[in-house]
Amino acid sequence: MLFRLVRQILQATVYDVAIESPLEAAPRISQRIHNNIRFKREDLQPVFSFKLRGAYNRISQLSKEKLARGVICASAGNHAQGVALSGQKLGIPAIIVMPTTTPDIKVQAVKRLGGQVVLHGDSFDITNQYAQKRAQEDGLTFVPPFDDELVIAGQGTIANEIHRQWREVDYIFVAVGGGGLISGIAAYFAEVAPHVKIVAVEYDESACLKAALEANERVKLSHVGLFADGTAVAQIGELPFKILTHPKSDGSKLLIEPEVVLVNTDEICAAVKDTFDETRSIVEPSGAMALAGIKKFVQQHGIKDKNIVSIVCGANMNFDRLRYIAERTELGERREAIYAVTIPEQKGAFLNFCRALQGRNITEFNYRYSTNSAAQVFVGISLKGGEAERQEIYDILKHNYDVDDLSDDEVAKLHIRYLIGGHASLEDERLFRVEFPERPGALLTFLENLGHEHNISLFHYRNHGAAEGRVLVGLQSTHSPTNTLDGINYPYEEITNNLGYHRFLR
C-alpha cells in the first residue's frame, strides 16, 4: 500500500495549479527554542492552503465523461476553495455545498473562484449527507476532503518537496484534522527516508487521532471545538487511519511518532504571532498548530539542535478574529499571568498591593467597591520569566493575600474578566457555558427556547469572529435548567463550581 501511494505522489498532477511552496528559515523562533526551524509555506498557495493539491489531483484524474458531468463537495473551508479552483482550471462544473452558517466571506471566496455554492443544513454532517446524495442523483463525482487515495497522494507531494529541499531534516510537525495531509507525508517518508520523524499535532478540543490511537480504532468525538476550524473534525478518516497505523519497515507499529502533541487555544494564538514575527503573514489557527506543537514538544523533551519543519498549512483567516487572538497570545506565550486576589477594603490597599509586586508591570486590574471588609480583584501581570516568574509572583502574593492563579482557567479568560462587578449573592443560581452557531437568529432561538420558567441572572457573550458563539449564562429556576438546555440542542456544560465565578460573581 505504501509503495503504491508513494508512486501516486510522484505521479501527481498538482503543479498544474499549485506551486512548489518555499521552505523558509525561521531564525527568530529557531534561536529562541534552540533548534533549526523552517516553515513549509503552504499558506502561499493560490487558495492560501495545501487543500488545492489533493482536490486537483483527485479531480484531474477523472475520466472525460465524469469531468463533463462535474464534481461536488461539502466544505465550508479550504477544501471548498481547492475544489472550486480545480473546477475553474479544468473548465468543469464544481458545486460546493456549504452549511447555512458559513460566514459570507467564505461563500464569496468560493464564488470568486468559479464554484457554484449551495447552502444547505446548519451542521457539516447534514451538509455532507446532502452533497453525497446529490452526487448520486445527478451523476456528479463527490470529492472528499481527506478520505481518498488520490487526495492523500496530492497532499503527499509536500513531502516530496521537503525531501528535495532539505535532506538533513529530523522532524516534521503536521496539524491533523481528518488525516489526509499527515498520512500522505508519513507514507512518503516511511518509504523514502524512514529516519525522519513525523509528529502529529491536534487541537485539544478536536483530538480525534489521539482518541483513535488510544482506542486502537476510529472513534467519533461527541463534541469538537471550532477555534481551529480548519482541523475541526470529529473522526479521523478511515483510509488515513489505516495508513498511519501501517507498520514501518524498521518494526515500528506506526508511521508517525506515537505521541500526539495537543495544543490549546492560547498556545495556538501565540504561534500565530510567532509566525507573523517571522514572515509578516497572518495564518489561520490551524496553520499555526504545527509550530505550537514544536514549541511544546521541544520543551517537554529537551530537544536541541535538530532540524525541524513546521507545515504552515493555511492562512484563510477572518480579520475580525485577530482581536481575540491578540488578547490570548500573551497568555499562550506566558507573557502574562492572571490572578484573583483578596485585598482589604481600605485606603491604600491598592498601593500596598502594587508594592508587594516589587515593581512588576500590571497589565489589567478589575475591581469594584465592596461593602465588606475585603474586596476581590482580577489582576493581570506582565511576565518576563515565563512559568518560573508566574510561580514566583503567586508565592509572593500568597504570603500576603488570599490568591488564586486563573491563568489556565478558560472561563476566567473568556468571560469572567469582562464581568467583574460584584457578587450577586444568589444561592439558587446555576452557571452554564453554552455554544451556539454564529449566525443571525441563533441567540434569539436560544432565548426563545429557554422559556419563561428560568430567570436569567447573568449573561455574557462576545463575538470572536469564529464559527461558534460562546455564552456564559446564569439561571434561576424552580425546575432543572438542564432539561430545557437538552431540548435546545446546543452544546453546553454546567460550571457552577468554577473558581473564578465563586471569587467574583457568586
Cross-strand partners of 261: 201
Same domain, 268 and 383: no
Has this prediction a pTM greater than 0.85?
no
What pLDDT does 439 receive? 62
Residue 416 lies in a domain: no
Do 27 and 123 fall within a single domain?
A: yes
Residue 130 within a domain: yes
Report the 3 state secondary structure along 141-182. Answer: EECCCCCCHHHHHHHHHHHHHHHHHCCCCCEEEEECCCCHHH
| Whether residue 339 sits in one domain with residue 326 | no
Residue for grid cell 475580525: 320
CATH code, 361: 3.40.1020.10
362-366 and 336-344: which strand pairing?
Answer: unpaired
- Identify the CATH number of the domain in which residue 93 sits: 3.40.50.1100
Q: In what order do the strands lie in the sheet with 430-437?
A: 455-461, 468-476, 430-437, 492-494
Which pLDDT does position 386 carry in this prediction?
Answer: 80
Q: Which residues contact 416 (CB under 8 A, 6 or more apart)?
A: 378, 406, 409, 472, 498, 500, 501, 504, 505
Does 494 fall in a domain? yes
CATH code where residue 455 lies: 3.30.70.260
Domain with 182 in it: 1-332
- CA dist., res. 380 & res. 337, Å (int): 6
Residues 216 and 314 in one domain: yes
Distances (CA, A) of 471 to 407, 439, 492: 20, 14, 9
**Per-residue pLDDT, 288:** 97
Judge if 320 and 288 occupy the same domain.
yes
In a domain, 126, yes or no: yes
Q: In 10 A of CB 321, how many CB atoms?
A: 20
Q: Which three cell numbers stand for residue 468?
A: 461558534
The residues facing 366 across adjacent strands are: 378
How many domains, the chain?
Answer: 3
What is the model's pLDDT at position 448? 78
- Is 303 in the same domain as 217? yes
Domain presence at residue 421: no
Q: Compute the Cα dihedral for 427, 449, 453, 487 and give only its sign.
A: negative
Interatomic CA distance for residues 402 and 169, integer angstroms = 50
On whether both 213 and 255 belong to a single domain, the answer is yes
Of 314, 332, 350, the residue that ends a domain is 332
Q: Judge whether 56 lies within some domain.
A: yes
* All three cell numbers of 452: 419563561
The alpha carbon of residue 92 and the mean position of all alpha carbons in its chain are separated, in whole angstroms, by: 33
Q: Which of 332, 360, 382 is the last residue of a domain?
A: 332
Picking from 332, 365, 398, the residue at the C-terminal end of a domain is 332
Q: Are 361 and 294 part of one and the same domain?
A: no
The one-letter amino acid at 254: L
Residues 310 and 346 in one domain: no
Question: Is 370 in the same domain as 488?
Answer: no
Q: CA 365 to CA 349: how far, in whole Å?
A: 13
Q: Is residue 418 part of a domain?
A: no
Residues 309 and 368 both lie in one domain: no
Tens digit of each residue's pLDDT, the chain (506 residues)? 899 999 999 999 999 999 999 999 999 999 999 999 999 999 999 999 999 999 999 999 999 999 999 999 999 789 999 999 999 999 999 999 998 877 777 888 899 999 999 999 877 778 889 999 999 999 999 999 999 999 999 999 999 999 999 999 999 999 999 999 999 999 999 999 999 999 999 999 999 999 999 999 999 998 888 888 889 899 999 999 999 999 887 888 899 999 999 999 999 999 999 999 999 999 999 999 999 999 999 999 999 999 999 999 999 887 878 888 887 887 667 788 999 999 888 877 877 888 888 878 888 888 776 777 888 888 888 888 888 899 999 999 998 899 999 998 988 888 888 887 777 778 788 999 888 776 656 777 777 787 777 888 888 876 665 666 778 888 888 778 888 888 888 888 899 999 988 888 87
The C-alpha atoms of residue 382 and residue 385 are separated, in whole angstroms, by 9
Is 292 in the same domain as 388?
no
In a domain, 138, yes or no: yes
Strand partners, 458: 474
